[in-house]
């Protein structure tokens, strides 16, 4: 049992483990996107297997509805959902689905065909379900903690990591079609390992860190019941904290919260509509450039002079990125490879920078349940 003060919150001297929490969050963020980024990065392999089915575009269309639909269901029931079960379920689905892709390819000996393609689509749909569980659950869990907990930097790092691994495996194995397949198998095996690592880190390490316990007890004292299982796993029962009288804590409704933060939601929508309309389907080198600059962009808001915090400024910046559409069109038609690399890099840099600016500016000033 943690030492609690009169408000049911641990003493500040007990807040240890900040840097460990930052590292763990980074890996948990990496696990959130490593499976989907793996699919995007090995798109060339699937184009060889399924040249008539346009896998890069089709798999994106399969992934997104399942991610959005599951997110809406979880949002509707958010106050009743056990955050620990939600996050663990998401990472387990990620692990099983990535392992399933590996087993499917091994079982079919790398052959194409509509049956194998449907199987891949099913696993990609599972990625969408898992992402809705984990990304929403972790973002909500960390929103009442510290912005230094670099979860979203980890999501960006997953893109850079998968691109780097893909280029290495292509260089090592790309002497024949069989060599290409071996590289993809190694690539998927590494991705599966990272998913298993995330299960272990969330289940046994993250919730045991003193600083994480502190913020979860604080959330419980403000009326949050979704952290109870995580606290119980850490040996703390909310009945023994200041959370007994939850009824006295009032919170804004979801409708009120949506209205107050509508512009932030629009910012994120505009950022990713633009990015996803351009990004899928590029060669490995351009994908790697995008992912590397996206990772760098996740850290540029640490420079206060270029961090955007104005709500109007964030909206203008998000809208201005749509000028990249004609830029990409004319570059593809008249420009050379250097200009295309520059545009893809700028796309990644602005995607990472604006995402972090939005998510670290909002939410602020809310209670844990909100």
Concatenating the DSSP letter of every residue in 73-134 gives HHHHTGGGS-HHHHHHHHHHHHHHHHHHHHHHHHHHTT--SHHHHHHHHHHHHHHHHHHHHH
Residue range 67-105, pLDDT digits in tens: 999 999 998 887 778 888 999 999 999 999 999 999 998
Q: Which of 278, 295, 289, 312 is nearest to 355 (CA)?
A: 295
Q: What is the 3-state secondary structure (H, E, C) of 157-212?
A: HHHHHHHHHHHHHHHHHCCCHHHHHHHHHHHHHHHHHHHHHHHHHHHHHHHHCHHH
Q: What is the DSSP letter of 362?
A: S
Residue range 122-143, pLDDT digits in tens: 999 999 999 999 988 888 888 8
Query: What share of the chain has pLDDT > 90, as a percent?
Result: 32
Going from the C-alpha of 264 to that of each of 86, 271, 357, the distances in angstroms are 24, 11, 10
User: Based on the number of CB atoms within 10 Å of its own CB, is 333 exposed (0-12), middle (13-18) or buried (19 or more)?
Assistant: exposed
Q: Mean pLDDT across the stretch 305-315?
A: 91
Residue range 250-261, pLDDT digits in tens: 778 888 888 988
Residue range 184-221, pLDDT digits in tens: 888 889 889 999 999 999 999 998 989 988 888 888 88
Residue 234, classed as helix, strand or coil, is coil
Write out the E strands in the chain. none
CA 8 to chain centre: 32
Q: Which of 319, 320, 276 is nearest to 294 (CA)?
A: 276
Query: What share of the chain has pLDDT > 70, as a percent?
Result: 89
Residue range 321-359, pLDDT digits in tens: 999 999 999 998 888 888 999 999 999 999 999 998 988
């Amino acid at each position: 049992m943690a030492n609690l003060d009169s408000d049911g919150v641990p003493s500040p001297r007990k807040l240890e483990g900040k840097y460990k929490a930052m590292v763990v969050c980074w890996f948990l963020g990496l696990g959130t996107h490593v499976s989907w980024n793996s699919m995007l990065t090995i798109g060339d392999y699937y184009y060889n297997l399924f040249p008539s089915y346009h896998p890069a575009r089709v798999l994106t269309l399969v992934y997104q509805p399942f991610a959005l639909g599951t997110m809406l269901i979880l949002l509707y029931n958010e106050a009743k959902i056990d955050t620990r079960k939600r996050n663990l379920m998401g990472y387990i689905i990620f692990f099983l689905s990535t392992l399933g892709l590996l087993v499917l390819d091994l079982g079919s000996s790398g052959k194409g065909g509509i049956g194998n393609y449907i199987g891949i689509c099913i696993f990609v749909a599972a990625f969408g379900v898992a992402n809705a569980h984990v990304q929403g659950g972790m973002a909500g869990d960390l929103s009442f903690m510290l912005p230094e907990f670099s979860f979203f930097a980890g999501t960006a790092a997953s893109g850079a990591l998968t691109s780097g691994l893909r280029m290495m495996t292509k260089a090592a194995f790309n002497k024949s079609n069989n060599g290409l397949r071996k590289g993809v198998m190694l690539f998927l095996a590494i991705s599966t390992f990272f998913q298993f690592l995330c299960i272990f880190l969330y289940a046994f390490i993250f919730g045991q860190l003193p600083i994480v316990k502190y913020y979860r007890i604080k959330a419980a004292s403000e009326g949050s019941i979704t952290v109870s299982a995580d606290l119980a796993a850490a040996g703390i029962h909310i009945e023994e904290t200041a959370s007994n009288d939850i009824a006295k804590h009032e919170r804004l409704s979801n409708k009120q919260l949506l209205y107050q933060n509508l512009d932030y939601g629009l910012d994120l929508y505009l950022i990713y509509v633009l990015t996803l309309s351009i990004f899928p389907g590029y060669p490995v080198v351009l994908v790697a450039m995008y992912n590397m600059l996206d990772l760098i962009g996740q850290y540029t808001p640490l420079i206060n002079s270029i961090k955007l915090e104005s709500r109007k400024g964030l909206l203008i910046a998000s809208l201005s990125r749509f000028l990249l559409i004609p830029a990409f069109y004319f570059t593809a038609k008249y420009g050379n490879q250097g200009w295309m690399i520059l545009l893809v890099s700028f796309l990644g840099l602005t995607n990472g920078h604006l995402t972090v600016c939005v998510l670290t500016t909002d939410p602020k000033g809310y209670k844990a349940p909100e």
